Structure 1
Amino acid sequence: MKLFKSLSVAAMAIALITSSVSVVGAASSLKGKIVINGSSALLPLTLQAANEFKKLNPKVKISASAAGSITGPQSVRKGIADIGAVDWDASQDVPGFKKFDGQVAHKVAVIPFAAVVNKNVKVDNLTTKQLQDIFSGKVTNWKDVGGSDGDIIVVNRAFGSGTRVNFQMKALAGSEFLSKGSNYKEVKSSGDMKTAVETTPNAIGYMDLVYVTSNMKAVKINDVAPSEANLVNGTYKVWGFGYYMTKGQPDGATKAFIEYIQSSKFQNGSLKKLKFIPISAIK
């Protein structure tokens, strides 16, 4: 009887090992090349997912770059990218941008955006009206919004940025941006925004939470902090879905990569560690 049990356990172990090997083998047989372009806000997520996916599928090559959201669906339309990462659903019209016909939008993340200031700024909370006045150039000194005396330096993202689209629509309620002046800077990417706010005294800008560092401060908006809990409970309004755009329905390695980034394992693991919020958290 003991011998029978031992043989049974061994047989089960061999079966499990064989099953595991076949699953790994099936995964690793996937081949192809995926080119991703677009949102710099989504780039950290894309790079992390690509790193994990390539370990599981070593025969798949993935290249990713970020030059702003609008370049994502543009690259897909031109046929130079398989996936366009964008901070809005580019299959629909949004203020300032017409929809990209024939493209399919795949939700991959919830992105919290925040108004951020240089660490020397003594302001912790701003109202919608104060943000509108600052980013339009109507208010130019921090003392006028509860801070210390100092000229406000406005840092803005260039036109075509998905972060800009979301911040303008949701933090500024559609109010227009300042576009020039001695107290105005314009940057091309989330990384550039991070550097500008970190190194420019009295600066204010905006970015997704992934890029916020100890050398800056994410301020409350209307007394509500930019946190996952506040976003999920509906009190923090400055956020958007991140999308992967494809020309029609994807297949092969592209389809498998999108499914991987949408999987509960990635959404509740690496995605959350990067300060994004799982798409399933928004009902």
Structure 2
Amino acid sequence: MAVALLTSSVSSVGAASSLKGKIVVNGSSALLPLTLQAASEFKKLNPKVKISASAAGSVTGPQAVRKGIADIGACDWDASMDVPGFKKFEGQVATPIAVIPFAAIVNKNVNVSSLTNKQLADIFSGKVTNWKDVGGSDADIVVVNRAFGSGTRVNFQIKALLNGEFMSKGSNYKEVKSSGDMKTAVETTPNAIGYIDLVYVTGDKIKALKVNDVAATEANVINGTYKVWSYGYYMTKGQPTGATKAFIDYIKSSKFQNGSLKKLKFIPLSAMKK
């Protein structure tokens, strides 16, 4: 997917202490940690700007922008274009703000460290139901999936499952609404497998699997060996203006991209330039 990478200076934003406005962000739970951190920093520079952020899945972002209830729709795909399962949102502009690595994750009790694309597809479709069939212990696999409308789900299906189908029911199937819910479900369910963006892979109750023996790391995304990643976008109704534009410019600034964004395990846009 062609992506225009834009840069901006912090000075134009940081000096705007008299900037006023209210910004409502809705959409991707994968991007929520980034949005919250950026909002915290931006509000210190611009105390007269109010920012609220919520996350119920990527598709709710551009939907909220279309309805006029959000200024920014956070989305894990370019919603100004058709993607599998979703028509484009007419009149919306997609601004790339980060690169998001995604990972297949398992409960800490699962003694498997790497799966191939085919093994992942077989597990998430329900074709393979026991860990012993992919090199693990004799135990039923519990599949945890994101609800339809999740950008993480869209990207994982395309890039990890190579467009394989998801199972949708069964005694060993669970469905969750957000990245936070996914982490909790896999942490608390023995023999569970799910998927999440890398920022949520913390603690010792879950672990990220290698895909085709390649670890889910920022370095491997950048060097091209790990394929399960996407650009994260902010969707706006037309080109952003005012406080909304200033906030997006701050997120795209080299200070934030190479500072807080990297600390949160996202990847700066500039790292993917060819």
Normalising by structure 1, report the TM-score: 0.91
State whether residues 13 and 250 of structure 2, in contact with CA within 8 Å, keep that contact through their aligned partners in structure 1.
Answer: no
Among candidates 154, 166, 172, match of residue 177 of structure 1 = 166
Deviation at 1:86, TM superposition (A): 0.2
Deviation at 1:24, TM superposition (A): 9.3
Deviation at 1:27, TM superposition (A): 1.7
Q: Give the whole-Å Cα distance in 2 for the aligned partners of 1:278 and 1:151.
A: 39
Report which stretch shifted further, 167-176 or 208-217: 208-217
Percentage of identical aligned residues: 84
Counterparts of residues 41-190 of structure 1 (less than 5 Å): 41-190=30-179
Report the equivalent of 1:258: 248
**Structure 2 counterpart SS, 1:28:** coil
Task: Answer 1 or 2: higher relative contact order, Cα 8 Å, separation at least 6.
Answer: 2
Report the equivalent of 2:229: 239
Q: Give the whole-Å Cα distance in 1 for the aligned partners of 2:128 and 2:65.
A: 40
Deviation at 1:209, TM superposition (A): 0.4
Report the equivalent of 1:270: 260
What do the CA deviations read for 1:181-217 (whole angstroms, capped 9, x no partner)? 0010000000000000000000000000011122101
State whether residues 13 and 246 of structure 2, in contact with CA within 8 Å, keep that contact through their aligned partners in structure 1.
Answer: no
Q: Give the whole-Å Cα distance in 1 for the aligned partners of 2:218 and 2:55.
A: 25
Report the equivalent of 1:225: 215
Q: Give the whole-Å Cα distance in 1 for the aligned partners of 2:98 and 2:91.
A: 22
More helix by share: 1
What do the CA deviations read for 1:13-69 (whole angstroms, capped 9, x no partner)? xxxxxxxxx989942100000000000000000000000000000000000000000
Structure 2 gap segments, 5+ residues each: 1-10
Among candidates 31, 38, 62, match of residue 20 of structure 2 = 31
Structure 1 gap segments, 5+ residues each: 1-21
Q: 1:130 to 1:106 in 2, by over 3 A?
A: same
**Structure 1 counterpart SS, 2:174:** strand
**Runs ≥4 residues deviating over 3 A:** 22-26
What do the CA deviations read for 1:224-267 (whole angstroms, capped 9, x no partner)? 00011111110000000000000001110000000000000000
The higher radius of gyration belongs to: 1
Among candidates 202, 208, 215, match of residue 197 of structure 2 = 208
Aligned residues: 262
What do the CA deviations read for 1:150-190 (whole angstroms, capped 9, x no partner)? 10000000000000000000000000000000010000000
Q: 1:248 to 1:24 in 2, by over 3 A?
A: closer
Report which stretch shifted further, 207-216 or 269-278: 207-216
